[in-house]
Chains A and B, each alone.
Chain A
Amino acid sequence: MKFVDEFRDEALAKGLAAAIAREANPARRYSIMEFCGGHTHAIFRYGVQDLMPENVGFVHGPGCPVCVLPIGRIDNALELAEEHGVILCSYGDMLRVPASKRRSLLKAKAEGADVRMVYSVDDALRIARDNPGREVLFFAIGFETTTPPTAVALRIARAEGLKNFSVFCNHVLTPAALNHLLTAAAVDVDAFIGPSHVSSVIGSRPYEYFTETFRRPVVIAGFEPLDVMQAALMAIRQLNAGHAEVENQYIRVVTREGNLKARAIVDEVFERRESFEWRGLGAVPDSALTIREAYAAFDAEKRFSIVTRSAPDAKSCECAEILRGAKKPVDCKLFGKGCTPDSPVGSCMVSSEGACAAYWTYGRFRREAA
């Protein structure tokens, strides 16, 4: 397994760090946003930030689908589970995110609602087949990696004529969030590290628009710490040369066109929503998907006449600023006090890819190791 060593090799990491130190111009700052929670995780776990010179900093972006779903949509899910008596299925982390009044789907479950954690949307289909007398609802969340499986499940449900299955669609689009960060939120970021698995599905092409429009480099990177460091070096080189291009550090998996089969299935089942609210970003145009008319029979929003109301985040919670890259978790008064992974107040403390959870887990780890 020699590659494993190569990708975590200390000498290589030092070499990359030295190259970055050499090439980073001391007269300027480099602010690099990693969009994807997987990168946030790698940066903290391996202390990548500590290997960077003073003037190169990572900013954590909104790249965790559990973190960015606004409270109003979770309130909707709670209402469906509690008042409509459905069997509500979703991915594990989603069940733990606090909604209004610090309620969560897990709490609703403890109080008797039929809420079930599933590993795959196929598990929800199976539950629907096994319970023909009950309404089974899949609370669908996620970026472009999780969307294609939901699309396949909707095709299966239609082909089988499942009468008691529906999807509450909350799938969101990565490029739209980047676009919004650069326009409305106007974040102070010089370059982006692009997500790897998302890009493996949509390809690197969608990022070309940003580099052309906003003149910020995007370097798509794998999840290894050395991948992230190499991507940072590539971004710094582009910035120094005044370039703004999409570069692909992760050619071993990502192509320009992505997974064409997956993209075609997604297109058949979903279309763009005019606007969708993101935690931290507010309403973002064209940033999410909704179920097409051909599959309307399986659309929970239609079946249960769901109307989303905006609901405020918990008092003092800074998730919104953190997701915009405007603040760091330690800037939040509740961090590590009222809010920990065991008892989260905001969404960023729930999933292991959330910035607050990463700070908490590895910040402490680093202090102890020091």
Chain B
Amino acid sequence: MCLAIPAEIVSVNDAAETAVVALGPVRKEISIALIENAKPGEFVLVHVGYALHKVSPDEAARTIAMMREAGLDAEIAEFGEAAR
């Protein structure tokens, strides 16, 4: 449960400190209260519904591929499920 999943910011609601992020086809609302100046197109590491920090697109791609290969699809699926 310590793992964080990278996702791309699609839109930002600054007043509510939330953002919609995309991971493949899945979209999900997360909190951006813990990071500064989040902007659409940037990648963030998402942990328990919160962006913990920004990462580069390369880092994001690497991490997702590693998680898939490591059989951590359950964590990725959980991410999608919570999107409802």
Measured CB to CB, the residues of A under 8 A from B are: 1, 3-4, 7-8, 36-38, 41-42, 45-46, 63-66, 91-93, 119-123, 142-143, 145-146, 148-149, 152, 195, 197-198, 200-201, 223-224, 252-253, 259, 261-262, 265, 351-353
Contacts and interface: CB of A to CB of B under 8 A. Distances in A.
Contacts, number: 123
B45, B53, B65, B71: which has the most chain A beta carbons within 10 Å?
B53
B70 interface: yes
Nearest to B17: A152
B64 to A, nearest CB: 9
Contact of B69 (A8, A38, A121, A148): A8
Contacts of A265: 33-34
B74 to A, nearest CB: 8
Given A3-B58, A145-B47, A224-B62, A353 B1 contact: yes
B52 A259 contact: yes
By secondary structure, the B interface counts as mixed
Interface of B: 1-4, 30-31, 33-36, 45, 47-50, 52-53, 55-56, 58-59, 61-63, 65-66, 69-72, 74, 78-79, 81-82
A351 B3 CA distance: 12
Nearest to B71: A45
Contact of B45 (A3, A195, A197): A197
Contact of A8 (B30, B52, B66): B66
Nearest to B68: A4
Contacts of B33: 152, 265
Contacts of A353: 1-3
B61 A3 contact: yes
A149 B2 contact: no
Contacts of B55: 252-253
A42 B35 contact: no
Contacts of B72: 41, 352
Contact of A119 (B62, B66, B82): B82
Contacts of B74: 352
A209 to B, nearest CB: 22
Contacts of B69: 8
B31 A122 contact: yes
Given A8-B66, A64-B1, 4 more contacts: A41-B70, A120-B49, A149-B49, A259-B53
A143, A261, A265, A351: which has the most chain B beta carbons within 10 Å?
A261
Nearest to A4: B65
A2 to B, nearest CB: 9
B50 A148 contact: yes
Nearest to A122: B49
Given A200-B45, A261-B35, A265-B33, A120 B1 contact: no
Contact of A146 (B36, B48, B61, B81): B48
A36 B78 CA distance: 21
B34 A262 contact: yes
Contacts of A38: 2-3
Contacts of A224: 62, 66
A152 to B, nearest CB: 5
A206 to B, nearest CB: 17
Nearest to B82: A119
Contact of B4 (A41, A93, A197): A197
Given A120-B82, A145-B52, A152-B31, A91 B66 contact: no
Contacts of B59: 252-253
Given A152-B31, A152-B34, A121 B62 contact: no
A91 B1 contact: yes
Contact of A92 (B47, B56, B78): B78
Nearest to A145: B47
A252 B53 CA distance: 12
B61 to A, nearest CB: 5
Contacts of A143: 2
B1 A65 contact: yes
Contacts of A200: 45, 52-53
A120 B2 contact: no
A149 B48 contact: yes
Given A4-B61, A253-B59, A121 B2 contact: no
